[in-house]
């Protein structure tokens, strides 16, 4: 098995920052890249704030935090990520964007470097085919928020080699995560079950069965969910929810996965949830207020 010492993270959004956070705390040197330099700095600031919360709660010591932050370095150019033992793509949930990144990165990688994608729904086999190393390509699907969620889904493509799989599992477990193996079908396990539930909640709103508040209260108290499905959709990002539903609908050709027209409308309006200030709730005031 390849020994992982350095990790590259491509994409400095919420997921990329979270992955960098847990890798650095796990003792790995991290190179963080994004097409926009300001996002890298914003991600490092977010990691610092989130680690400070862990210190305040006694989860992490101040010394561990200081050491972890020192392990995260910016990589202004994509080719710099080629130096690492494991490169994790954590860009937006768009297949063409991911393929473009993987094709551009491949020529700069060492022959033993493992490539992984944090995709939450897209075929690992198809993404692997865009690289020069399908046998050394795997899906490492971290859950959001990465520092708090214990699961990593491990997804093998048709060409993923056994050593790549074993290395990926050992790596995820070294971060204190529990791994779950998923076959390479659209949306894997968690999102195959979770996102259609969110879509169904949006249909329930669309059809007037209940209000935003009624639906979320019903699922929190009636199903003991920590967060209502519409609030959860806002947290994930409604653009990501729509993308996953489209992958399911196209990949499985089943009408039960048809994205709700109201979800499409919200995304078209740019109301993507917490990250844009409005989704099924308006987050611009002190307290979130339902938008319907």
Angle 256-189-18 (CA atoms, 0-180°, nearest 5)? 120
The catalytic residue among 123, 153, 243, 249 is 153
Residue with tokens 């768009």, as numbered in its chain = 94
**Residue 153 among the catalytic residues:** yes
Residue 92 and residue 11: Cα distance in Å, rounded? 8
Cβ atoms 93, 120 nearer than 8 A: yes
Catalytic: 286? no
Helices (H), 109-260: 124-129, 162-174, 190-206, 212-222, 229-236, 238-252
Token representation of residue 214? 């009624």
- Cβ neighbours for 273, distance < 8 A, ≥ 6 positions apart: 233, 234, 235, 236, 237, 238, 279, 280
Set 50, 117, 118, 120: catalytic member: 120
Q: Of 121, 129, 107, 126, which is closest to residue 236 (Cα–Cα)?
A: 121
* Catalytic member of 117, 118, 123, 191: 191
* 191 noted as active-site residue: yes
Does the active-site annotation cover 120?
Answer: yes
Question: For residue 144, which of 236, 70, 61 has the smallest C-alpha distance?
Answer: 236
Q: Of these residues, 141, 199, 231, 249, which one is catalytic?
A: 141
Q: What do you get for the CA distance between the two ends of the chain, in Å?
A: 53
Q: What is the DSSP letter of 122?
A: S
d(CA 98, CA 85): 19
Angle at 18 between CA 13 and CA 19, to 5 degrees: 100
Q: Cα–Cα distance between 104 and 19 in angstroms, integer?
A: 21
Active-site residues, by number, are 120, 141, 153, 191
């Amino acid at each position: 098995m390849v020994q992982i010492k350095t990790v590259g993270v491509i994409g400095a959004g919420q997921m990329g920052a979270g992955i960098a956070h847990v890798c650095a705390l796990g003792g790995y040197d991290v190179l963080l890249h994004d097409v926009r330099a300001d996002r890298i700095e914003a991600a490092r600031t977010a990691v610092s704030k989130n680690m400070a919360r862990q210190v305040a709660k006694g989860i992490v010591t101040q010394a561990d935090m200081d050491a972890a932050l020192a392990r995260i370095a910016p990589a202004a150019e994509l080719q710099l990520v080629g130096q690492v033992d494991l490169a994790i793509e954590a860009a937006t949930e768009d297949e063409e964007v991911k393929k473009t990144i993987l094709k551009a990165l491949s020529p700069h990688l060492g022959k033993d470097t493992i490539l992984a994608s944090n995709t939450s729904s897209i075929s690992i086999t198809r993404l692997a085919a865009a690289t020069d190393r399908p046998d050394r390509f795997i899906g490492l699907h971290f859950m959001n928020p990465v520092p708090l969620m214990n699961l990593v889904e491990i997804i093998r493509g048709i060409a993923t080699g056994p050593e790549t799989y074993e290395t990926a599992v050992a790596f995820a477990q070294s971060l204190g995560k529990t791994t779950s193996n998923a076959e390479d079908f659209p949306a894997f396990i968690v999102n195959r079950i979770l996102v259609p539930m969110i879509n169904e909640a949006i249909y329930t709103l669309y059809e007037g069965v209940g209000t935003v508040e009624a639906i979320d209260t019903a699922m929190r108290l009636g199903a003991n969910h920590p967060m209502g499905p519409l609030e959860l959709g806002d947290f994930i990002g409604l653009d990501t929810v729509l993308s996953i539903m489209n992958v399911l609908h196209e990949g499985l050709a089943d009408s039960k996965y048809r994205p709700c027209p109201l979800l499409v409308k919200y995304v078209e309006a740019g109301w993507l949830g917490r990250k844009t200030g409005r989704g099924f709730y308006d987050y611009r005031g002190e307290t979130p207020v339902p938008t319907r």
